[in-house]
Amino acid sequence: MPNYFASYHNRQICHTDLNAHNILVQHFATPEQKYWLIDFDKCTEKSGNNWKAQNLARLHRSFIKEVNKLAIKFTEQDWDEILSGYKG
């Protein structure tokens, strides 16, 4: 998932409801995983880059909220990997 969000942002696609519930993970018998981003009904194309950090921050808050609420398996190390992949 590390560069998954960058691929949307690089095309100037802003998923206005970017949160943990809108990410589906498909697991295989191998360590490979496939990710699906859903719920694009309110998404927009945006110019510039100022909105991207806020969009990622929204996702981060969502992961933290779900860790506390539903005990999902997500750590700050996972977030660091997402950011590292995002930056390339």
List active site positions: 17
The token duo for 20 is 């943990």
- Token look-up 């990622």 returns 56
Q: Is 59 left (phi over 0), alpha (psi -120 to 50) or beta?
A: alpha
